[in-house]
Amino acid sequence: MSDSRNYESLENLKALYTKAKENNAKHNITGVLIYHNGNFLQVLEGQRDHVDYTYEKIRLDSRHKNILKVINIDVEQRIFEDYNFGFTVVDDIKEFNQLHEYLEWLKNAENKLANKVITMVENFIRTIG
Ligand SMILES: Cc1cc2nc3c(=O)[nH]c(=O)nc-3n(C[C@H](O)[C@H](O)[C@H](O)COP(=O)(O)O)c2cc1C
């Protein structure tokens, strides 16, 4: 989780999203990046060294601040691999709703480890809806 440094302009955000999608596809990293009201929530999934490398780059990015690593766990199964080509950027209400539906559906599949992550994402998107 982090705060955008100065309410990034839409144009800047689009460039960030494109870059993130491109790099993550290259490194087989899946997850979501959610932006709302100056706050980011991001989930990254993948091989540990790839995730750590990407996280380190993100951490040093001056476009955001107050960066907080909330959960860091080993998982057997990815949550977002089957969602929207793997890595999704969510910044409008339609996508928030879609993501919410997906997470609700996944919860029923009773993936216990995933539930921690799902709860975190849901709490964040609840502040939006
Ligand atoms: C909130 C936030 C999320 C980001 N997420 C990603 C990401 O998932 N993957 C990524 O490669 N870069 C991400 N970035 C951009 C990186 O900080 C960095 O600019 C980028 O990885 C540099 O790519 P390059 O090494 O190919 O030039 C993010 C930046 C911010 C501010």
67-105 pLDDT, tens digit each = 999 989 898 889 898 887 788 888 888 888 888 888 888
Which residue from 6, 23, 41 has its CB within 8 A of the most atoms of ligand 1, so it is best to mutate?
23
The answer to whether residue 7 scores a pLDDT higher than 70 is no
CA 58–ligand 1 middle distance (angstroms):
5
Backbone torsions φ then ψ of 106, nearest 5 degrees: -65, -35
Compute the distance between CA of residue 98 and CA of residue 81 in angstroms, rounded to an integer: 15
pLDDT at 8: 66
pLDDT at 58: 97
Distance 73 CA to ligand 1 centre (A): 21
Q: Give the span between the Cα atoms of 116 and 129, in whole angstroms.
A: 20
Q: Which residues share a beta bridge with 43? A: 32
Domains and CATH numbers, the chain: 2-91 (3.30.70.100)
**Of residues 108 and 34, more confidently modeled:** 34
Say if ligand 1 is within 6 A of residue 61 CB: yes
Q: Please give the DSSP secondary-structure letter assigned to residue 64.
A: E
The structure's pTM equals 0.88
Q: Give pLDDT, residue 50.
A: 97
Distance (Å) from CA 23 to ligand 1 centroid: 8
Q: What is the tally of helices (H) and strands (E) in the chain?
A: 4, 5
Ligand 1 center to residue 97 CA distance, Å? 25
**Closest residue to atom 15 of ligand 1, CA basis:** 58
Please provide the average confidence, as pLDDT, over all residues in the chain: 88
Q: Is the beta carbon of 24 within 6 A of some atom in ligand 1?
A: yes
Residue 106 beta carbon below 6 angstroms from any ligand 1 atom: no
